[in-house]
Structure 1
Amino acid sequence: MECRAGCGACCTAPSISTPFYGMPGGKPAGVTCIHLTGDRLCGLFEDPRRPAVCAAFQAEYAVCGSDYDTALANLRELEILSLPD
């Protein structure tokens, strides 16, 4: 599956636990990354400062669904399920 241009759900729902350019404390779940552009594209997409976790993410229908709202809901659920007990 190709990433949907203008989605950006993966730039909001999950947390990023490591510091990265512009967000030295990482990114909490549910907080939109400061590098998400107004048209919901990654401002660091081709930049080596892009977090490794973001570069490794591969869009899949099971996660992203067919629209932004589904992707956001699925990614939020995965974030919750991945929390330590």
Structure 2
Amino acid sequence: MNCRLGCGACCIAPSINSAIPGMPQGKPSGVRCVQLDDDNLCKLFGLPQRPALCAQFQADIEVCGDNRDQALHLITVLELATQS
């Protein structure tokens, strides 16, 4: 599965513990990444500054569902299930 252009769910729902340019402490789950532009596209895509977690993310129907709303919900559920 390819990412849906303009979805951005993976840049909002999960927490990111590593530094992100503009977010040196990372980002909590449910918070929009500062590197997500107005079209919900990553400004760091393909750049070395992009966090490893983001670069490793693979779109999958099990995680992304059929649309953006489902993706936000499913990734949030996964995030909550993996918090310690």
Shorter-chain TM-score category? Answer: over 0.9
- The one-character-per-residue Cα deviations of 1:33-75 (angstroms, maximum 9, x if unpaired) are 0010111111100111000000000000010011000000000
Q: Which runs of 4+ in 1 moved over 4 A?
A: none
Residue identity over aligned pairs, in percent, reads 54
The residue number in structure 2 matching 1:23 is 23
1:21 CA drift (Å): 1.6
- Count of residues in correspondence between the two structures: 84
The residue number in structure 2 matching 1:63 is 63
The residue number in structure 1 matching 2:2 is 2
TM-score (norm 2): 0.97
TM-score (norm 1): 0.96
The residue number in structure 2 matching 1:50 is 50
Gaps of 5+ in 1: none
RMSD: 0.6
Gaps of 5+ in 2: none
Letter in 2 for 1:19: A
